[in-house]
Structure 1
Amino acid sequence: MPHYRRVGKIPSKRHTTFRSPDGSLYAEELMGVEGFSADSALLYHRHLPTAIVDAVAVEDFRLPLAPNHPLKPRHLRTQAMEWAGGLDAVTGRRSLMGNADVHISFVVASAPSPLYRNAVGDELFYVQGGSAVVETVHGALPVAEGDYVVIPTSTTYRVVPEGDLRLYVVEATGHIGPPKRYLSSRGQFLEHSPYCERDLRAPDEPLVVDGEDVDVLVRHRAGLTRYTCANHPFDVVGWDGCLYPWAFHIGDFEPITGRVHQPPPVHQTFEGPNFVVCSFVPRKVDYHPESIPVPYNHANVDSDELMFYVGGNYEARKGSGIGIGSLSLHPAGFTHGPQPGAAEASIGAEHFDETAVMVDTFRPLDLADPASTCEDPRYAWSWARRGPDWD
Structure 2
Amino acid sequence: MAYYRSTGSVPPKRHTQHRDPDGRLYFEELMGEEGFSSDSSLLYHRHLPSALVDSRVWQPAEDKPEPNHPLKPYHFRLHDLFPGESWRQADPVRDRRVVLGNADVRIAYVAAGLPSPLYRNAIGDECVYLESGSGVMESVFGSIEVGEGDYVVVPRATTHRWLPTGDAPLRLYAIEANSHITPARRYLSKFGQLLEHAPFCERDLRGPVGPLLSEEPGDVEVYVKHRVGGDIGGTVLTTPEHPFDVVGWDGCLYPYAFNIRDYEPITGRIHQPPPAHQVFEGNGFVICNFVPRKVDYHPLSIPVPYYHSNVDSDEVMFYCGGDYEARKGSGIGQGSVSLHPGGHTHGPQPGAYERSIGAEFFDERAVMVDTFRPLDLAEGGRAGDDGRYAWSWSGRGPQGELPPQGELPPQGDRS
If the TM-score is normalised by the length of the shorter chain, which range does it land in?
A: over 0.9
Cα distance between partner residues in 1 of 2:57 and 2:8: 35
Instruction: Give yes or no for contact 1:28–1:43 (8 Å, CA) kept in 2.
Output: yes
Cα displacement string for residues 269-316 of structure 1 (whole angstroms, at most 9, x for unaligned residues): 000010000010000100000000100000011000000000111111
SS class of match (1:65): coil
Instruction: Give yes or no for contact 2:327–2:348 (8 Å, CA) kept in 1.
Output: yes
Query: Are 1:390 and 2:382 counterparts?
Result: no
The match for 1:181 is: 186
The match for 2:197 is: 192
Query: Are 1:370 and 2:380 counterparts?
Result: yes
Segments of 4+ in structure 1 off by > 2 A? 79-85
Query: 1:204, CA displacement in angstroms?
Result: 2.5
- Which among 305, 309, 332 is matched to residue 299 of structure 1? 309
Cα distance between partner residues in 1 of 2:253 and 2:379: 35
SS class of match (1:52): coil
Instruction: Give yes or no for contact 2:43–2:246 (8 Å, CA) kept in 1.
Output: yes
Q: How does 1:125-136 map to 2 (within 5 A)?
A: 125-136=128-139
Query: 1:119, CA displacement in angstroms?
Result: 0.8
Q: Percent identity?
A: 63
Instruction: Give yes or no for contact 1:139–1:204 (8 Å, CA) kept in 2.
Output: yes
Q: How does 1:210-221 map to 2 (within 5 A)?
A: 210=215, 211-221=217-227
Instruction: Give yes or no for contact 2:265–2:277 (8 Å, CA) kept in 1.
Output: yes
Moved more, 51-60 or 93-102: 51-60
Moved more, 291-300 or 214-223: 214-223
- Which among 287, 293, 297 is matched to residue 287 of structure 1? 297
Runs of 5+ unmatched residues, structure 2: 404-415
Instruction: Give yes or no for contact 1:2–1:189 (8 Å, CA) kept in 2.
Output: no
- Which among 245, 257, 282 is matched to residue 272 of structure 1? 282
Query: 1:377, CA displacement in angstroms?
Result: 1.2
Query: 1:17, CA displacement in angstroms?
Result: 1.0
- Which among 162, 168, 171 is matched to residue 166 of structure 1? 171
The match for 2:334 is: 324
Cα distance between partner residues in 2 of 1:374 and 1:154: 30
Cα distance between partner residues in 2 of 1:6 and 1:378: 52
The match for 1:203 is: 208
Query: 1:225, CA displacement in angstroms?
Result: 0.7
Paired amino acid for 1:143: V
Runs of 5+ unmatched residues, structure 1: none
Query: Are 1:67 and 2:67 counterparts?
Result: yes
Query: Are 1:140 and 2:143 counterparts?
Result: yes
The match for 1:121 is: 124
SS class of match (2:380): helix
Equivalences, count? 391
Query: Are 1:31 and 2:31 counterparts?
Result: yes
Cα displacement string for residues 141-170 of structure 1 (whole angstroms, at most 9, x for unaligned residues): 110000000000010000000131011001
Cα distance between partner residues in 2 of 1:288 and 1:278: 24
Instruction: Give yes or no for contact 2:7–2:211 (8 Å, CA) kept in 1.
Output: yes
Instruction: Give yes or no for contact 2:82–2:111 (8 Å, CA) kept in 1.
Output: no
Q: How does 1:91-102 map to 2 (within 5 A)?
A: 91-102=94-105
Q: How does 1:186-265 map to 2 (within 5 A)?
A: 186-210=191-215, 211-222=217-228, 223-265=233-275
Cα distance between partner residues in 1 of 2:49 and 2:334: 43
Instruction: Give yes or no for contact 1:6–1:239 (8 Å, CA) kept in 2.
Output: yes
Name the Cα RMSD after superposition.
1.0
SS class of match (2:249): strand
The match for 2:408 is: none
Query: 1:79, CA displacement in angstroms?
Result: 2.2
TM-score, structure 2 as length reference = 0.93
Cα distance between partner residues in 1 of 2:126 and 2:152: 8
The match for 2:362 is: 352
Query: 1:343, CA displacement in angstroms?
Result: 1.0
SS class of match (1:372): helix
Cα distance between partner residues in 2 of 1:65 and 1:241: 38
Cα displacement string for residues 350-382 of structure 1 (whole angstroms, at most 9, x for unaligned residues): 110000000000011101123222211111111
Query: Are 1:110 and 2:113 counterparts?
Result: yes
- Which among 318, 323, 328 is matched to residue 313 of structure 1? 323
